[in-house]
Amino acid sequence: MSHNQCVQCKGRGFCGRPACPILEKFRSIESYATASKGVTSIFGASPPAIFIGRHDYPSVMSGPMVPPDMSRNESSMLEDPKQLLGMNIDQIIAARSMLVRAGARMKVKDAADPKDPLLLKSQELALSMTPVDTEVWFNKPLSNKLKFDSVLTPMGPSGDLKDMDIAENPDVPKKVDYLVYDDDALAKDVVSELNSSNISQEHITRLLSIGLLGKERKLVPTRWSITAVDDMLGKEMLRKVRDNTLISNIMLFSGGAFGNHFEILLIPRAFSYELIEIWMPRAVWSGGSTWIGADGEGTEGKKGYSILTGGYYAARLGVLEYLNSIRRQATVFMIREIRPDYWAPLGVWVIREAVRNALQKPPQKFESIDTALSEMSSRIHTPAGSWRQKASLIDELKYQKTLDFFL
Amino acid sequence: MFKATIDADILKSSIETLSVLVDEARFRISTEGLSVRAVDPANVAMVSFELAASAFTDFAADDCEIGMDLTKVNDIFGVAEKNEKATLELDELSQKMSIYIGGFSYTLSLLDPSTIRAEPRIPQLELPAEVVLNGKELQKAVKAAEKISDHMSLGVDGDIFYMEAEGDTDKVRLEMPRDQLIDLRSGEARSLFSLDYLSDIVKPASKSNEVTLELGKDYPIKIGFTIAEGAGKISYLLAPRIESD
């Protein structure tokens, strides 16, 4: 197995094996929901969370995620990136492994006209902003395997959903209640309206995933819906950012989370974006060697799915939110160095939050791109010689003059 | 108020000269005619466009400004046959443009001009060299350069206008002495340009028998030509690249 392939695939099965050996290694971590082993029903407050699988699409495993015996006060943190950010990797895995995935096979198109009571109840659960006491029954006693993925946050054992019951009324924000009944609006417009009404991104993703948004409603596998929302929100924000005036200085931000180190360079030029991903040896997907990949977009936008997968869109959203908030425009050159301390895949929320985090710190300002680049390289462990030639955007900026230079 | 009739062909090629750089544009309308000044999103190339009232068979207008989605206008003029006339009529109240062409009557929603990028300031440049040549020759040179590299140099050396492109391994050079050109004003000039931009700009220019290039040393190039028998003037300005060491 070539480790280069692992970094690019991140568990999508490119090697042809039935299960990803890297992810399999994490699955054997003992679930902290040990009490759930062997039981056929559980009761607890769902954060709320639902899970839609992607195997055998368009007939997918769908249903709620419920932490056994957990109270509403405790369970809300399981889906809240801000709270997860305050833990270490072991604590996150421990906490998230409490979430038992209860799934039944459903056709994705059933969401357009839901009749299955399991789907209707899952949708009702997804509407809630706060945890909801939920009881689920299984056809077979629960096993004890966890789920890991590059885009998804880790999850606990899964069970074959037989029946479910919501023990209380979900707490549905007015805006959500109103927009899920609008089946004339396009999903992308509803997603951005929910976002500007301060509905959390996890909530929006949950609604999209369970088929409650837009015109042609479908169940959307959780992994896809996370990136779809990152992409839709990013594109919407970019529309506004393109009309903003340029930043006045070259600015460099630095920061990270869980061994994901970010250097974010903002240059006073029209928005374009380049991300260089450096997987150091012994980080999750890289095995024994370094892997470096780059992807980006110019003024014409991104076509097709990024070779850097979901992280590309999560990082782009983080930086567009920042530009939108300061009402400015810039070219963005970003390096993400993944270090060995990132030993288990935690999901793309890590990237989104690490970028947001770095952009909250005061930036360093520079006179030239070259001095900013050498400052960046001093904090990147991997020698500049191995990533510098992948940065095609930087060269384009250095060599192509703009017309305002001649005013 | 704006109501005008024109050869569909002229309007089609006018829109083309703009749409190579931008997707939407602000049109200034006055008793004199139409004008547009637009810059591409990266601020590397701009276009100034003027179409005099004399290019129209009928023309009646007051001063106003409208925003149009060029892709939509291009699509509408796609149905036009040769020598067909098009009539445009603005409804200011509803901000819609009616376009009558070949029996069709379109109603096109206009864009709020304030949502379109502001008109750029035009750099005032003294460009020492000037070359006038056939647009076809220019396009041929650009096409040859594209096979070799992503950018090409244009320059004047004494009585010779030259174009040069150098790739990682290969090189191409074309020289045109004064007698192969329509006109030449010699001066110190050599600048490098991105072929991404140049090949887009050269497309509409290639239809003109007389294209004027104004050049300097590591300075923007000005590419000018006319359409509609001189009633339409188009001028592009493209920022140079700095040659890498």
CA distance B134 to chain A (A): 26
Pick from A403, A405, A406, A407 the residue to mutate for testing the B interface (most B CBs within 10 Å). Answer: A403
Give residue A32's pLDDT: 58
Instruction: Write out residues in chain B with pLDDT < 70, as ranges.
Output: 244-245
- Would the CB atoms of B123 and A398 count as touching at under 8 Å? no
Give residue A1's pLDDT: 42
- Would the CB atoms of A398 and B219 count as touching at under 8 Å? no
Give residue A150's pLDDT: 76
* Angle (nearest 5°) at CA A388 between A399 and A238: 65
Angstrom CA distances, B161 to A345, B152, B178, stand at: 59, 13, 8
Give residue A28's pLDDT: 58
Give residue A30's pLDDT: 61
- Tokens 């990803």, residue? A20
Pick from A245, A273, A406 the residue to mutate for testing the B interface (most B CBs within 10 Å). Answer: A406
Residue A203 in tokens: 């909530």
Please say whether the beta carbons of A295 and A306 come within 8 A.
yes
Give residue B245's pLDDT: 55
CA separation for the pair A381, A336 (Å, rounded):
11
Option in B41, B117, B242 nearest A401 (CB): B242
Q: Is B77 helix (H, G, I), strand (E, B) or coil?
A: helix
Using beta carbons and an 8 Å cutoff, which residues of A are at the interface with B? Answer: 242-243, 269-270, 272, 298-299, 395, 398-407
- The ipTM is 0.90
Give residue A149's pLDDT: 78
Interface membership of B194 toward A (CB under 8 Å): yes
Give residue A368's pLDDT: 87
Domains of chain B: 2-113 (3.10.150.10), 129-238 (3.70.10.10)
CA separation for the pair B145, A167 (Å, rounded):
71
Instruction: Write out residues in chain A with pLDDT < 50, as ranges.
Output: 1
Q: Is the pTM value of this prediction over 0.80?
A: yes
CA distance B197 to chain A (A): 11
The CB-side HSE value for A370 (13 A sphere, CA atoms) comes to 2
Fill in the amino acid letter for A114: P
Contacts of B46 in chain A (CB under 8 A): 403
Pick from A401, A402, A404 the residue to mutate for testing the B interface (most B CBs within 10 Å). Answer: A401
Measured in degrees and rounded to the nearest 5, phi and psi for residue B163 equal: -130, 140
Nearest CA among A270, A276, A191, A262 for reference residue A231: A191
User: Residue B54: CB partners within 8 Å, gap ≥ 6?
Assistant: B33, B231
Please say whether the beta carbons of A253 and A358 come within 8 A.
yes
CA distance A272 to chain B (A): 9
Option in A269, A395, A403 nearest B39 (CB): A403
Interface membership of B46 toward A (CB under 8 Å): yes
Residue of A nearest to B236 (CA): A403
